[in-house]
Structure 1
Amino acid sequence: MFTIIGERINTTLNQVKDAVEKRDADYITNDVKKQTQHGATYIDVNAGARIGHEEEDIKWLLEVVQKATDLPLCIDSPDPAILEMAYDLVEKTPMVNSISLEKDRFDPMVSFLKGKECRIIALCMDDSGMPKSAEDVISRAKAIVKELENIGMKRNDIFVDPLIQPLSVDGNNGPIAMEAVKTIMQDLEGVHTTGGLSNISYGLPQRKIINRIFLVMMMANGFDSAIMDPLDKDIMAALKTGEMIAGHDNFCMNFIKSVRSGEIKA
């Protein structure tokens, strides 16, 4: 089944940032409950936007979010020390976002991950910068999966992020992502692929339709997870329809249930 990492509890979003500043637990609770009800698999929690306040903010968020849902969390920070602190506060086996091949990030993250029970998002980034081709993404994916396996992580717990980049910057970024995902899923059997779906449409009009079509095309190439908004009814409809067409919905029951409930409409 497709893994949906609910992206909405992120202080880069103004409403979330305001709620965190004001310690508005009701706003966060209501949003998390909606994500849970609408099909999220994990709730992503990111408190990195308020510089100098990340530690206190994520501690507060983790307490509020875990009271609002039984779902596991994706703890999300660029700071390995914050991730390690947050890991000790979660009640269920989390997903950790993220590790990359950048030395300053890789070394402390490997030290942190050894012996930990968690899933990990592995970014196809190294010290040379963002990947410029599908070959770059694939080679980095193979390298980071090998390193994670060396410390005992199982492929089923590794979610490779090909680093989806905007079409507005380079029209080849869509084909690069699709080619990379297809090869990763074939050559690294057992791993998952995920990423920030909406990155593809940055800077373009009518972003939601771009995201929907891109999701289905990525799924056709093996993409089995996304960091996305489960409250977007249209993209969830595209996801459930794509799952059915790909043969991942026995007797089409999930699709039929969603139509009957009004979640999928023509």
Structure 2
Amino acid sequence: MTDKEEPLLASVRNWAEKTGLPLELYTKSVFGKEGFSVSHSTLYEDMQADKAREIDIVAYWRDTLGLVQIYFVIECKSSSKPWVVLTDKASFPRPLNYSFGLFSANVAEHIPIHLDLYRSDAGRMLEILHRSGYGLKVAHSGNDDPAFGAAMSALKAARAHVQNTAGKIDRFKFAIPVIVVDAPIVECNLSESGELEYRKVDYSEAHFNAYIPELQRASIRIVSKEALPFYASRFRMVAQAIVAQMTPQIAAFVRDMAQARTKPGPP
């Protein structure tokens, strides 16, 4: 390395460290180590704005046939300002259907998730990850709060992934929005005595609703950089549990394909 190259590399390093790029690459690496197929800077179609947009990370899990597809669509946000999650256990005591994130229409047609949510391994995993959150903000942000934009971006990307109908086979798709931050996360709730309580956490969850253009609702997970390896392993367990829950649909697909191959053709 020459003397002229050193200042150049130093300037690029200083620039990169001031962006979210290191956090994005770290997140990609963590999910890759958990066995996910991971893509960085993935484009998706924003149907509301009628343009292509970019999501930082997409971590992908599927069954061996690719019939069940689970996407963790991830926004990475680097900031020194704390992220605040408003929680209310009275209003959100347990996970709901949209704790699975968004899913394709055929999922609801073939498996009524709400009927066996608490009896399945997937339901139990969602119970472990449930935090009764309903609001998400970044402290000290004034009117320019990046939390809403990050949640909206993750939700739109999730919607695009479950509504992508490319291919001849009707696949079962799940898309779970996630925000990874390198800032503190604080949960805030109103106590029974009417006072606000604050608790620093390394992971939380908030239900998020938006019209894009029709109403979409999903749980968005917020994970700190330090805790990401642990929760990436939990997300892998969620994906595996979803695949296991869809076993009857996978078996029916294999059976139908086998019957189609053995069915005699026209004389």
TM-score normalised per structure 2:
0.28
**Structure with max Cα Rg:** 2
TM-score normalised per structure 1:
0.28
- Tell me: higher relative CO, structure 1 or 2? Use CA pairs within 8 A at least 6 residues apart: 2
Greater share of residues in helix: 1
